[in-house]
Chains A and B, each alone.
Chain A
Amino acid sequence: DQQVKQNSPSLSVQEGRISILNCDYTNSMFDYFLWYKKYPAEGPTFLISISSIKDKNEDGRFTVFLNKSAKHLSLHIVPSQPGDSAVYFCAASGSNDYKLSFGAGTTVTVRA
């Protein structure tokens, strides 16, 4: 049973517009959340994270929002650029847990 869910397999967005990626989780023990980006034939690379004591974290064009009561987080990319075309994975972990659980991923395509 997947504890981290990304229900949108793909997203297409025009260059310059906002990309919004969503992620839901079921395990209430999760208290740290990460987003990874993956290009074809490469390993995932860390993008941005947020701990459960915050509801927003921003890094340049990337912002992650956390809604603990809804067990939901989202990643906003503004403005979207062609180099943002990749697969984005949501991941989560608990303070007392060494495991990092991933969602199924969302493929983002940025159109020129």
Chain B
Amino acid sequence: NAGVTQTPKFQVLKTGQSMTLQCAQDMNHNSMYWYRQDPGMGLRLIYYSASEGTTDKGEVPNGYNVSRLNKREFSLRLESAAPSQTSVYFCASRGAGVWKAFFGQGTRLTVV
């Protein structure tokens, strides 16, 4: 089982460039999440999707957009990257009625 797969693993962007981080899960989970991890800040929720067809803002949504393409896939888009978006991004998924979430390996993004 692959679990939660994120692509790419590493990315360097120039300020103002755009990109999409991809996430797919093969556990038939309803809910999916995007977090960013920064030193001293822990994991902060950017956006989440409670179920296919719905998305909601988390704690730090500014500068990001998301798409829940289908039940398996949840993508995160940076329309105009800024140095403040340099971070490690994690995708996670959670099944209905289950409390624990499963995480992907992360995407390390650097914006220069």
Interface residues, chain A, with chain B CB atoms under 8 Å away: 2, 6, 9, 32, 34, 36, 41-46, 49, 51, 89, 91, 93, 98-105
Interface residues, chain B, with chain A CB atoms under 8 Å away: 4, 31, 33, 35, 40-45, 48, 50, 56, 58, 90, 92, 94, 99-106
Least CB separation from A50: chain B residue:
B99
Additional A-B contacts beyond A46-B100, A51-B99, A91-B43 (15; CB < 8 A): A2-B42, A6-B42, A32-B99, A43-B103, A43-B104, A43-B106, A44-B43, A44-B90, A45-B103, A46-B102, A98-B50, A98-B94, A99-B48, A102-B35, A104-B42
Question: Could you say which residues of chain A place their CB within 8 Å of the CB of B48?
Answer: 98-99
A102→B44 contact, CB < 8 A? yes
Known: A6-B42, A43-B106, A104-B41. A99 touches B58 (CB 8 A): yes
B41→A44 contact, CB < 8 A? no
A93→B42 contact, CB < 8 A? no
In the complex, A11 Cα to B103 Cα: how many Å?
A: 24
Question: Could you say which residues of chain A place their CB within 8 Å of the CB of B45?
Answer: 99-102
Question: Could you say which residues of chain B place their CB within 8 Å of the CB of A102?
Answer: 35, 42-45
User: What are the 8 closest A-B residue pairs judged by CB atoms, nearest first?
Assistant: A43-B103, A104-B42, A102-B43, A98-B50, A46-B100, A32-B99, A44-B103, A102-B42
